[in-house]
Every structure is written in C-alpha cells, then in structure tokens.
Amino acid sequence: MAEEFLRLEHLIKSFSSNTVVKDVNLGFDKGEFVSLLGPSGCGKTTILRMIAGFERPTSGRILVDGKDITGLSPNQRKIGMVFQAYALFPNMNVADNIGFGLKVAGTPRDEARARVEEMLTLIGLAGFERRFPFELSGGQQQRVALARALAPRPRMLLLDEPLSALDAKIRVSLREQIRAIQRELGVTTVFVTHDQEEALSISDRIVVLNAGNVEQFGAPFEIYNHPASRFVATFVGTINTLQATVADAGKKTVAIDGQIVTIPALPATARSGEAIALTMRPEAVSLVGEATRDIVLGGTVSEVSFLGSVIRLKVDLGGNAIHLDTFNDQRTPPPAFNAKVRLGIASSDVLVLGE
C-alpha cells in the first residue's frame, strides 16, 4: 500500500472577497508525480505557492509526512521549486547557480562540488559548469533551474509551469527528462500545468481544478476515459457532444437528428421527450466497416484534416456534428468532402453527463 506523504486539509485561500481556492482536500503519495491541471485562474499556482510557503492559507492545513508545516517559512520546509521563469542568477555560472542552495545551507566545499558534478551529469550538462545563463538555450537553462532545486536533496519538488516558455519540440523532450529524473530520485513532485497533454503523459495522478474547486482527482486513464463532470470531459482532450431527445425512456432509446439509437447508459431518471446531451471521444467513433459497433449513425463528411499519423473527420448528422479519428493508411484514402458515411460507436463509450 502506498504511503501518503503530502496532505492538504480543507485548504482555503481568499484575496479580499475573492476566494480562489475552495476547501481543497487532497492526499499525495510518497514518490508520486501529481499534476495540478486547469485553466488560468483555477487556483493551481496558488495551491503550489501555499505548499511552498510563499502564500499562507486563509484556513486549512498542509501536512508533510504527518507533520503540520502550515506555519513554517519557505526555507524551513526543505522543498525545491522550479519557476516558470528560469530565475537563474545572471552573474553566476552554471556550477554556482546549481550550488547556490548548498552554499546557503553551509555545505562543505568538497561535498558541494561533488553534488554539483552529480547534478550536471543527471541533467546531461557535464562540461557546461563554467558557462553563464546567457550562453545556454532555454531548455538548458530550465535544466539548470531543475538541478539547482534538486541539489540540496529536497523532500519534495514543486514545478510551476516550467515548460511554458519553451517551443513544442523542446517541451516534449524536457518533460520526458524531468519525469525520468523524478523517477530516478523518487522525489514526491507536484507539477502545475494548463497543458492537458503534458499532464496526461507524465503524471501518476492528476488533479483537475476549476474555479478553485477539485473537479476530479485520479490517474490519467481514469480522468480521460471516465470524466466525473462535464467540465472534465470538455477540458481534458477533445470530446463530441451530441444534443439528443429521449425517444422512449423505458427502452432507453434516443433520437439524434431523427435517427433512433439505444443508449444503455441512459439514466433511470430520464423521461421520454426530455432533451439530453451525449458525449464520446473522437477515437470512440469509427467508420462502419472498420469495427463492429452497436450504434450506427449516417452523415455527410464536412471536413477532412490530415494530422500525419491520424486523419480527423468532421461528419454532419443534421443539427449535430461529430469528429472522429482514423489512422492514416497510405493504401486507403480517407472519405472525400461531402461523402456519405456511416459511423459506428460502441454504446459503452457513450457518456450521459450532467453539469
């Protein structure tokens, strides 16, 4: 059984009359990589700053390894933090930047030098110790910032959107490096991001936040495939939402632009004639013939987007439109614009979501 390391209990943060974090209760395991995911203004960075000690909660407690650290100053918490801006000292070379925390802590010189060399090897920058920040790329600077945070052997690592200033290709490479380093060191890590792909790809678990509230906390597979609310479903990944009408509640049938289909997941509270919304991911929809599905809908192709290994189609059903992803097969071209197609959907992939 996993050992809980960080606990947030009834955490609330208000600025004047504006409450930005609303009664958050979360527990993170030792050595776990957890992402705080949500749109701008959802409270994720405020939570991170409270864990670090840069903000004091209006109410609630923060416990690390069972001990209340809510009243401790940042330098008493033994937490490493990497900021969105690299925040390197421009007048210090790479080695001095990495060793800054060790120097402040009074680490003996030989021990500090060995630790800096260890960190340089860990981040793949051995031989760069005498360079200054202006001589490094953005990705290299962020790796130095990461090494500086890890050098004093913190018991926890906090990352505040550390990749947002980098271009897409470097971001993918660096996030993989960060995850590999975190796994090697086994340090409990909290990572703030608004990038859903980033969170899904490297996290053990994800906290989805919206307007200061926790919408869902779970593994990436759970968050993506079993969203707990309409917000999670629409914010994490691409999703189709079809407006439908309950045709016969007893038979669990609905009408989608005049086409009658059976939805086993229809709630028992549904009533015939009631308007409902059905959701499913693009990859849950296929062209009939590629797979056997129990829901079949006819429509007209209105968009064909070539995305390399994947081709995304938009199909008009009448009043609704549905997107689906199909793998690029060089032997079989995708349907043409305005082509009539039939779509297959497994009923188990259809969600009826409330608010």
Supply the pLDDT for residue 230: 86
CB 46 within 8 A of CB 17: no
The domains found in the chain, sorted by start residue, are 4-235 (3.40.50.300), 240-352 (2.40.50.100)
Which pLDDT score is estimated for 193? Answer: 94
Q: Is 311:329 a contact under the CB 8 Å cutoff?
A: no
Q: Count the neighbouring beta carbons within 10 Å of the beta carbon of residue 278.
A: 22
Structure tokens at 239: 């999703």
Each residue's pLDDT expressed in tens, for the chain with a length of 355 residues: 678 999 999 999 999 999 999 999 999 999 999 999 999 999 999 999 999 999 999 999 999 999 999 999 999 999 999 988 888 999 999 999 999 999 998 999 999 999 999 999 999 999 999 999 999 998 999 999 999 999 999 999 999 998 887 888 888 888 999 999 999 999 999 999 999 999 999 999 999 999 999 999 999 999 998 898 889 988 998 899 999 999 999 999 999 999 999 998 898 899 999 999 999 998 889 888 655 678 899 999 999 998 888 888 999 999 999 999 888 888 888 889 999 999 999 888 898 876 5
Q: What is the 3-state secondary structure (H, E, C) of 177-213?
A: HHHHHHHHHCCEEEEEECCHHHHHHHCCEEEEEECCE
* CA dist., res. 99 & res. 157, Å (int): 17
What is the structure's pLDDT at 1?
60
pLDDT reported for residue 354: 60
CA–CA separation, 325 and 132 (whole Å): 46
Name the residue type at position 278: L
> Are residues 151 and 119 in contact, defined by beta-carbon separation less than 8 angstroms?
yes
Exposure string over 233-255, b if 16+ CB within 10 A, otherwise e: bebbbebbbbebebbebeebbbe
CB atoms within 10 A of CB 350: 21
